[in-house]
Amino acid sequence: MQINQYIDHTLLSPTATLDDIKRLCQEAIEYHFYAVCVPECYVSLARNYLTEYPIRVAATVGFPLGSMATITKITQAKNCITQGASEIDMVINIGFLKSGLDDKVEQEIASIKKAIGDHVLKVILEISYLSNNEKQRATTLAIKAGADFIKTSTGFGSNPVTPEDIILLKEFAGTDIQIKASGGIKDAKTAQLLIKAGASRIGTSAGVNIVT
């Protein structure tokens, strides 16, 4: 297992500076990570830094709460793609899901997927806030809406992701959608267990620690 090629090397801190993002990109180059994941405002910086490398740029949309209007998320997603992102990590409207507004949740995901075309869409469920029934519904909605991944957490949720979380989501997802594990992943052993459980991508700010 070449674990570096599972990693979205991530920096989403509100205090992240230009130099911090450049350092993130340099680490991604040095350790051959699959992607970097950055806020919208740093997409063009990351893309320009990584121009000569096959490292993808993922950008967050509706982050971290998911409660923005759909049109706002669509505008964000389009801008991220224009600035050079090849993947979008969007947060679902958790309140709508909990209110039983499944059609609205699905329509929002589908609208963003339509807006970004062939680019990869990952749907952040923020599972620490969800019941098992809500996790299953959210997974089904993401599949129906044409998303490419479900993702466990923004990293701002209350609990770290576990292999058991991934096994459960895999039961709901089957082979219809991939799973990105994120939230509190700090070491290689945890990352390997999450991959074994069914994750095909790892989102972490500890990528260097994991591979070294």
Q: What's residue 157's pLDDT?
A: 86
Give tens-digit pLDDT for 50-67.
Answer: 999 999 999 999 999 999
| pLDDT tier at 134, thresholds 50, 70, 90 | very high
Q: Is the pLDDT of residue 131 over 90?
A: yes
* Catalytic option among 89, 113, 122, 135: 89
Give tens-digit pLDDT for 157-170.
Answer: 889 999 999 999 99
Residue 131's identity, in one-letter code, is S
The DSSP element (H or E) to which 181 belongs, if any, is: strand 178-182
Q: Is the pLDDT of residue 1 over 80?
A: no
Residue among 193, 184, 178, 197 at smallest CA distance from 34? 178
DSSP letter for 33, please: -
- Residue identified by tokens 């991934």 is 166
Q: Any catalytic annotation for residue 151?
A: yes
What does each C-alpha distance from 111 to 116, 136, 177 come to in angstroms? 9, 21, 18
Residue among 11, 13, 12 at smallest CA distance from 26? 11
Q: What's residue 203's pLDDT?
A: 98
Give tens-digit pLDDT for 5-22.
Answer: 999 999 999 999 999 999
For residue 169, what is the domain's CATH number? 3.20.20.70
Q: What is the DSSP string of 106-165?
A: HHHHHHHHHHHTTSEEEEE--GGG--HHHHHHHHHHHHHTT-SEEE---S-SSS---HHH
What are the tokens at 172?
């709901």
Q: Any catalytic annotation for residue 180?
A: yes
Rounded Cα–Cα distance for residues 10 and 7 (Å): 9
Q: What's residue 21's pLDDT?
A: 98
Percent of the chain with pLDDT over 70: 100
* Catalytic option among 113, 122, 151, 165: 151
Q: Number of structural domains, the chain? A: 1
DSSP letter for 201, please: E
How many other CB atoms sit within 10 Å of the CB of residue 118? 7
Q: What is the largest CA-CA distance in the chain?
A: 46
Give tens-digit pLDDT for 88-129.
Answer: 999 999 999 999 999 999 999 999 999 999 999 999 999 999
What are the tokens at 161?
């992701």
Q: Any catalytic annotation for residue 196?
A: no
What are the tokens at 93?
């409207």
Q: What's residue 158's pLDDT?
A: 82
* Catalytic option among 113, 122, 135, 180: 180
Q: What's residue 114's pLDDT?
A: 98
Mean pLDDT of the chain: 97
Enter the pTM of the model.
0.97
72: domain range?
A: 3-211
